[in-house]
Chains A and B, each alone.
Chain A
Amino acid sequence: MATQIGGRGDSSGFLRPEAPAVLASTLERSVAAARAARARIDWERLRDAAHEIKAYAIENLDRLLVEFETRFTARGGTVLWAPTAADGVAHLLDICRRHGATSVVKGKSMVSEELAVNEHLGAAGIEAVETDLGEYIVQLAGQRPSHIVGPALHLSRQDVGAIFQRTLGVEFTDDPEALMTHARLRLRARYLAAQVGMTGANFAVAETGTIAVIENEGNGGLSSSVPPVHVFLMGIEKIIPRLSDLPVFLQLLARSATGQKIEVYTHHFLGAEPGKTVYCIIVDGGRTELLADPKSRASLYCIRCGACLNVCPVYRRAGGFAYPGAYGGPIGAAIAPTLSGMAHAGQLPFASTLCGACQDECPVKIDLAHQLVHRRFLARQADTTRGGVVARGIGVWARAMQDLTSYRRSVRWLRRAAAVGRRIRWYPGVLGAWARSRALPEPPRASFKEWWERRT
């Protein structure tokens, strides 16, 4: 029997005891496929090249953005600038209203997750339909994606069958092919009816004003080609300088993301053909804060392949719902405190073993472990500056450690508190979400020293 899944942003979808093991095994297969796909190419040379190109692009972003705008506009497109997430949403709503859109079909876009586009369009009476199968599944389930590349990786085929049965009214099946067919048939009509199609952008080429979008299902192709209006939604960091840089990234992205030599579809959008209206919304949404800090800048090199998630021991155990916001895993922990705010995601960099597996796997060689250490430093600095809970906690601990008597008294008190805490089944606020699926370990009856003294 399939598990009942929780609502959007709810982590209860991960409560099945077997779920972490299933996820870890799925991710292990992804890693194995990615490593196998690197055979017969000079992987390290390409990684070095990609790192250098991204470093150049990020350090020349102001100039390259303007160059991209000029060329994209010359090819019949319109560039809209969004300093904030709210500006990005406002542009999108404005486009939909201007073109009388009541329905939008969406290819995969992490920025749209970041901006909560579906919710905003829905609130304005515009239906946004996800078309990537994984995104479609989580949209039907009322959840958010749990992985950058595999949004529904946390769900079993039985879960998907139950979701389709409940939301689409189809007979239950757990056959992936039958489930895909249900999705395809329903979405075909949506493509033809939608007035606006929206996709993300994997790479925006400054030299040519063209945009590359990479996918396997054909939903990106349909979302961009069938409706009369196409909107690209992209972060400022997607710029690369030249068309000749693109093959380097195509080789790396397909192998890292899905373990393929090349994805089924690599779209190079050349410009608006007759009868087509094309927009590109370029979003800052906190990225210039990362840009302004030389130590954080490399986090903007990310090409959203999800490879760092696949190898991360914390992500493998905790899953994507443990991370607030759109981005999970090591890269999410590095950028979310800035993009989503310290209050929302400031603790994420601390949820890492700093083992460095992520940076060994990263196709653009982002120094993720260093990024996380730096984010920890910034988080601690911010906490200390505002006299936050961690700073106060450390102050209390420092006092307790001042002399032996205080230390012993504190440890005894903590043991008693833990014993009481184990019996409590409900906690308020964030503690509640934590405690629902976890129990405090049983505290020892005596300290090691007491036990040793009794023993001898």
Chain B
Amino acid sequence: MSRQRDRLLASVSDALKDARERARPLPEVVALEEGCEDPHVLAARFCEELRALAGFATIVHDAAACSAAVSEYLSSRAVRSVAVQSAPLAKRVGTGLAGLCVAQAVAQDKAALERCDASLLEASSLLADTGAAIVVLGNSQDRVLPYLPRTCVIVAPMSALHSTMSLASYGCIREALDSTVAGEALIVAGPSRSADIEKTLVLGAHGPQALAVFLIEEPA
């Protein structure tokens, strides 16, 4: 095993002898700049972009209003069971869901999660220019939530909005790495899709057919 490692690395080093002399400097970080900072403008842009991706996005005032709006959205999709991510805002919104069977994902096995109709996740960052949400998933049950149920709901405070995929928007990934969170940081933009047959777009390929993001103005 270690012989293979040494052999491969030696081949790489040998191949790069000429490059050593040049010692190319590390390029400067290309900062994708944040544009408009007004959260309402960013929120409007985010909603527009997500709708263009066949997702749904709306703004609610607080966590209680969010629970009510999510309940209504899920009822309209005939959802009966919801699995909730181990994240504070998701848990709070999940607790307020009415008329639904709500369970913490971490207490379920993967086969049970596959039978759930919907998942409820919390985004750490939102990217307005693409309608994308960054979700940090730290345990094995949470990790399957964005894919197994047919409907995926994401909640996030409006303060999580960034205009673009800037370094600031990546702060949550850095934070997760620094605090040694394992698992996955997922950027998700709309419901799953495929265009593998004659470039015809089909929603709900292997993951959810519907994805909704609820932006909370005052989550606390």
Chain A interface residues toward B at CB < 8 A: 26, 29-30, 40, 45-46, 49, 52-53, 55-56, 59-62, 65-66, 75-76, 80-83, 87, 131-134, 137, 150-153, 155-157, 160, 176-177, 179-180, 184, 187-188, 192, 208, 210, 216-219, 221-222, 224-226, 236, 241-248, 250-251, 258, 260-276, 282, 284, 288-289, 291-292, 294
Known: A187-B206, A264-B188. A134 touches B198 (CB 8 A): no
Known: A271-B183, A292-B15. A192 touches B114 (CB 8 A): yes
| Chain B residues with CB under 8 A of A192 | 110-111, 114
The residue on B at minimum CB distance from A217 is: B205
**CB-based contact A29/B199 at 8 Å:** yes
**CB-based contact B196/A247 at 8 Å:** no
A241–B24 alpha-carbon span in the complex (Å): 13
**CB-based contact B8/A284 at 8 Å:** yes
| Chain B residues with CB under 8 A of A276 | 140, 182
The residue on A at minimum CB distance from B167 is: A244
A40–B16 alpha-carbon span in the complex (Å): 38
The residue on A at minimum CB distance from B150 is: A184
A258–B27 alpha-carbon span in the complex (Å): 27
A248–B4 alpha-carbon span in the complex (Å): 33
A66–B12 alpha-carbon span in the complex (Å): 11
Q: Which of A75, A242, A265 has the most CB of B within 10 A?
A: A265
The distance from the CB of A58 to the nearest CB of chain B, in whole angstroms, is: 8
Beyond the given A56-B25, A267-B184, could you list 18 further A-B residue pairs with CB under 8 A, ordered by the A residue number? Answer: A26-B199, A53-B27, A75-B182, A133-B205, A176-B197, A176-B202, A217-B205, A221-B207, A225-B147, A243-B170, A243-B173, A244-B29, A247-B30, A247-B32, A267-B185, A270-B177, A270-B184, A294-B19
**CB-based contact A55/B194 at 8 Å:** no
Chain B 175-217 interface residues, beta-carbon cutoff 8 Å to A? 176-177, 180-200, 202, 204-208
| Chain A residues with CB under 8 A of B186 | 221, 265-268
C-beta contact mask, B117-148 vs A, less than 8 Å → 1, else 0?
00000000001011010001011100110111
Chain B 4-58 interface residues, beta-carbon cutoff 8 Å to A? 4-5, 7-9, 11-16, 18-19, 22, 24-27, 29-30, 32, 49, 53
Q: Which of A222, A236, A248 has the most CB of B within 10 A?
A: A222
**CB-based contact B148/A222 at 8 Å:** yes
**CB-based contact B110/A49 at 8 Å:** no
Decide yes or no whether B174 CB sits under 8 A from chain A.
yes
Partner pick for B194 among A53, A133, A225, CB 8 A cutoff: A133
The residue on B at minimum CB distance from A260 is: B189
**CB-based contact A217/B30 at 8 Å:** no
**CB-based contact B189/A83 at 8 Å:** no
Which of the four size classes fits the interface of chain B?
35 or more
**CB-based contact A250/B205 at 8 Å:** no
The distance from the CB of B197 to the nearest CB of chain A, in whole angstroms, is: 4
Q: Which of B130, B183, B191, B205 has the most CB of A within 10 A?
A: B205
**CB-based contact A222/B144 at 8 Å:** yes
The distance from the CB of A64 to the nearest CB of chain B, in whole angstroms, is: 10
The distance from the CB of A365 to the nearest CB of chain B, in whole angstroms, is: 13
**CB-based contact A261/B18 at 8 Å:** no
Known: A133-B196, A137-B196, A218-B147. A210 touches B177 (CB 8 A): yes
**CB-based contact A133/B9 at 8 Å:** no
The distance from the CB of B117 to the nearest CB of chain A, in whole angstroms, is: 14
The distance from the CB of B5 to the nearest CB of chain A, in whole angstroms, is: 4
The distance from the CB of A284 to the nearest CB of chain B, in whole angstroms, is: 5
9 pairs of A and B residues whose beta carbons are closest in the complex: A218-B207, A134-B196, A292-B15, A217-B205, A218-B192, A266-B187, A291-B15, A271-B182, A225-B143
Partner pick for B206 among A131, A152, A176, CB 8 A cutoff: A131
| Chain B residues with CB under 8 A of A150 | 195-196, 199
A177–B197 alpha-carbon span in the complex (Å): 9
**CB-based contact A82/B8 at 8 Å:** yes
The distance from the CB of A167 to the nearest CB of chain B, in whole angstroms, is: 15
Q: Which of B4, B194, B199 has the most CB of A within 10 A?
A: B194
Q: Which of B192, B193, B195 has the most CB of A within 10 A?
A: B195
Known: A81-B5, A82-B8, A180-B205. A151 touches B196 (CB 8 A): yes
**CB-based contact B189/A264 at 8 Å:** yes
**CB-based contact A222/B206 at 8 Å:** yes
The residue on A at minimum CB distance from B5 is: A81
**CB-based contact B202/A177 at 8 Å:** yes
| Chain A residues with CB under 8 A of B5 | 81
Partner pick for B8 among A56, A76, A83, A134, CB 8 A cutoff: A83
| Chain A residues with CB under 8 A of B111 | 192
| Chain B residues with CB under 8 A of A87 | 4
A151–B188 alpha-carbon span in the complex (Å): 23
The distance from the CB of A12 to the nearest CB of chain B, in whole angstroms, is: 20
**CB-based contact A247/B170 at 8 Å:** yes
**CB-based contact B185/A270 at 8 Å:** yes
**CB-based contact A83/B4 at 8 Å:** yes
| Chain B residues with CB under 8 A of A52 | 27
Partner pick for B12 among A133, A180, A263, A288, CB 8 A cutoff: A288
Partner pick for A291 among B16, B24, B170, CB 8 A cutoff: B16
A248–B111 alpha-carbon span in the complex (Å): 37
**CB-based contact A250/B165 at 8 Å:** yes
**CB-based contact A76/B144 at 8 Å:** no
Known: A132-B196, A244-B170. A221 touches B182 (CB 8 A): no
Decide yes or no whether B78 CB sits under 8 A from chain A.
no
**CB-based contact B140/A265 at 8 Å:** no
A52–B25 alpha-carbon span in the complex (Å): 10
Known: A81-B4, A265-B186. A180 touches B202 (CB 8 A): yes
Decide yes or no whether B1 CB sits under 8 A from chain A.
yes
A156–B198 alpha-carbon span in the complex (Å): 6
The residue on B at minimum CB distance from A45 is: B30
The residue on B at minimum CB distance from A218 is: B207
**CB-based contact A247/B165 at 8 Å:** yes
**CB-based contact B29/A180 at 8 Å:** no
The distance from the CB of A228 to the nearest CB of chain B, in whole angstroms, is: 8
**CB-based contact A160/B197 at 8 Å:** yes
User: Could you show 11 A-B contacts with beta carbons less than 8 Å apart?
Assistant: A59-B16, A83-B7, A133-B205, A150-B199, A192-B110, A192-B114, A216-B192, A222-B148, A266-B186, A270-B183, A294-B18
